[in-house]
Structure 1
Amino acid sequence: MKDTKAVKAENDSNRRIETDVFHAGIVAANTWITLVAPILIGFFITRLFDKDKFTISENTIFAVSIVLHVFFTITIYKASTRRSLSLEVDGLVEEIEHLQGTIIPRAAQLYDTSKVQQTVIYLMTLELENMIDELNEKAKLSTEEENIKRWDEGLNKILAPLVKYRHELFGYEGQDLYNICLYVYDIPNDNLIIKWRRFDDRLQPSNRSWKPGAGHVGLTFILNELKICHDIYDSTELSNSALGPNDKAKYRSFLSVPVKDSSKVLTGGKPLGVLVFTSSARGQFSPDRDKLFALTAAKLVSIYVEKCLKSFVS
């Protein structure tokens, strides 16, 4: 298959040839209709009233003139109704270039990301199943300290694929500072505290807690819905005092997902916590690409947290 540049060049060449031939035909037709035909008509009308009969040569000229006149009349008619495909070809070439330059690469990137998302969800699910089996076997026979340690280990195993495949999942580049953490709701203190966190070693996080409704973590928690911010500097939902200038540069865009309490482990219908992804780059996260994946990952986390809480309570 020829590339678009070759097609466009060939189309331009054909269009020039087509235009030259068309112009030559129109000039010939107009010359015949306006100059030659009137002279011949006058000649044959004059001969018609002569007493002498038409010679064989005159009859031949007359017949040829009729044929040429009909031909040139048709040519002029076709010219008046002519429709060139050159513009359509140019439009198709531009559309193909747009597809090849923008649409197809983006579709390929989304396809590759989708495959990685499926892989990560599969790995998280495997770890979840293993940890639940382990909880079922050992939770009742273990001490509280052992259970808490097992809970921490389980979270690390389940969430580890998010860190390992962060570049493929979210498009982090070398200069981007990533941060992935899980906040859980501390009922007695009415706070969202960090239970698990992995971040770029160039960051120096404060590991602060958030009140429900404060910052993007608290806002996601209290609204119980996924939040994506492409640029915190342009955010209309977050107060200017929620983060300092340095923090805004480090956590410029974010994706926050509530870890919902579907089994009603906690009272009041509040989420169990919030799963958070942040980046120092603007526009790191995309609803079309990330929403379903993030909700699925948060659901797997919620299943594990619910199971842990139920096991520890029982």
Structure 2
Amino acid sequence: MTENLRELASENDKANSDITEYLGTFSAIWMTLIAPIIVGIFISHWFSLPKGETIKPVVIVFAAIFTIVHLFLSYLEIKSKKRNHTHGEVTIVYDKYNEQVSTYNRLRDVYDYNCSLNISQKTATYLVSNELDKAVGELSKYLSSSPLPLVDSEEVLLEKHLNDLLWPLIVDKGSLFDYEESSLYNIALYVYNDESDKLDVKMRFHDERIRIQNRSWSPGMGHVGMAFLHKEIKCCPDIEQSTELSSKSEHDYKTYRSFISVPIIACEDNESTEARPHGVLVLTSAKENQFELQRDQMFLLTISKLFSIYLDKYEHTKKMISLLNHNEKREPENEKNDHTS
């Protein structure tokens, strides 16, 4: 529509220019040639009349028509000099229209992206919540089982549950975090180990092209340890531009270019208890600016809280089983002492 308007304005200006040119040419010929000749003939006729004879009505009518035509042409010439071209104004309107269309398309794309992101985040949260419900139910069933389970089976159950809880984020990682093939996605869950005082990898999903090392981190060391120690999200758009973090490994620079680390705060953590976090949820990418706090912060904090609920339940279950096993060992000793006495 705007393109047609622009073409029509250009054609209109060209037509106006042509008409003005023709009118100017005719007016010039009239003023410089035709009008002087007619005026000359009229004056000659007037002065050649015999004495006492008046000008004929036909001549008077002709002179009046001549005067009207002359004045009309003069008027048209004056107006043609004051005419405005519409092409320039239309071009301005056209450019403003294109700017508005560009703004509208950009805002529409942002709106569509935000709607899609919102749906993906809600879906992932819902799926993780469902997996949490199942995992807590299995832990309760596990605790009430008889005979008591072996201690080693706790780790197997933990890995299964963490796998199920992380899986919704892996399946929809492209929609949630804009991961692409070149991003070399890496999503890992670090859990704090009281005995070694380190954060160990308990579950990791990653691009097959990444050479995994599964390093453990002490509190305060690296972005994992810093997120754990400070109990706050650590987001780095580009590790090469970071003033807090650096790496001597070229592999790390290429593989873990950007990251976001989310501490899994214990449910009972408050000013009076100051409990240690359970661990840290880490996402990394080989691309810079992969993560945005405005987009990812609330979603990942919600997910980390769901992990916190599970790990609280897991720690409680682990302690209860240990206590029950300890009591079972003491009962035979008490019975033996009773018989002896």
The TM tier, using the shorter chain, reads 0.7 to 0.9
In the aligned structure 1, how far is the partner of 2:289 from the partner of 2:87?
A: 50
Q: 1:92 to 1:197 in 2, by over 3 A?
A: same
Q: 1:263 to 1:74 in 2, by over 3 A?
A: farther
1:195 aligns with 2:202: yes
**Could you tell me the TM-score, scaled by structure 2's length?**
0.71
Partner of 1:207: 214
In the aligned structure 2, how far is the partner of 1:162 from the partner of 1:250?
A: 20
Partner of 1:124: 128
Q: 1:69 to 1:81 in 2, by over 3 A?
A: farther
Q: Give the number of the structure whose alpha-carbon radius of gyration is greater.
A: 2
Q: Deviations over 1:101-149 (max 9, x none)?
A: x665565444434333322222111111222233344435454725444
Quote how far apart the aligned CAs of 1:276 are: 0.5
Partner of 1:157: 164
1:263 aligns with 2:268: yes
Partner of 1:13: 7
The secondary structure found in structure 1 opposite 2:211 is coil
Greater Cα offset, 111-120 or 67-76: 67-76
Q: 1:121 to 1:13 in 2, by over 3 A?
A: same
**Residues matched between the structures, number:** 303
Greater Cα offset, 287-296 or 191-200: 287-296
In the aligned structure 1, how far is the partner of 2:137 from the partner of 2:60?
A: 113
In the aligned structure 1, how far is the partner of 2:274 from the partner of 2:317?
A: 21
In the aligned structure 2, how far is the partner of 1:98 from the partner of 1:80?
A: 29
Q: 1:15 to 1:291 in 2, by over 3 A?
A: farther
Given candidates 306, 313, 320, the residue that maps to 1:307 is 313
- Which runs of 5 or more residues in structure 2 are unaligned? 47-53, 321-341
In the aligned structure 2, how far is the partner of 1:211 from the partner of 1:33?
A: 96
Q: Which amino acid aligns with 1:13?
A: E
Q: Which amino acid aligns with 1:133?
A: G
Q: Deviations over 1:44-98 (max 9, x none)?
A: 9xx89x8858722332343444455445544544428996222221342355357
Partner of 1:284: 290
Q: 1:67 to 1:227 in 2, by over 3 A?
A: farther
Could you tell me whether the CA contact under 8 Å between 2:223 and 2:261 is conserved in 1? yes
Could you tell me whether the CA contact under 8 Å between 1:32 and 1:69 is conserved in 2? no
Cα RMSD of the aligned pairs, angstroms, is: 3.8
Q: Which amino acid aligns with 1:194?
A: V
In the aligned structure 1, how far is the partner of 2:275 from the partner of 2:16?
A: 78
Quote how far apart the aligned CAs of 1:275 are: 0.5
Could you tell me whether the CA contact under 8 Å between 2:184 and 2:285 is conserved in 1? yes
Q: Which amino acid aligns with 1:299?
A: K
**Could you tell me the TM-score, scaled by structure 1's length?**
0.76
In the aligned structure 2, how far is the partner of 1:269 from the partner of 1:25?
A: 89
Q: Pairwise mapping of residues 140-151 of structure 1 onto structure 2 (< 5 A)? A: 140-141=144-145, 142-143=148-149, 145=151, 146-151=153-158
Q: Which amino acid aligns with 2:258?
A: S
Q: Which amino acid aligns with 1:300?
A: L
Partner of 1:223: 230
Q: Pairwise mapping of residues 175-194 of structure 1 onto structure 2 (< 5 A)? A: 175-194=182-201
Q: 1:22 to 1:258 in 2, by over 3 A?
A: farther
- Which runs of 5 or more residues in structure 1 are unaligned? none
Could you tell me whether the CA contact under 8 Å between 2:142 and 2:149 is conserved in 1? no
Q: Which amino acid aligns with 1:279?
A: S
1:252 aligns with 2:263: no
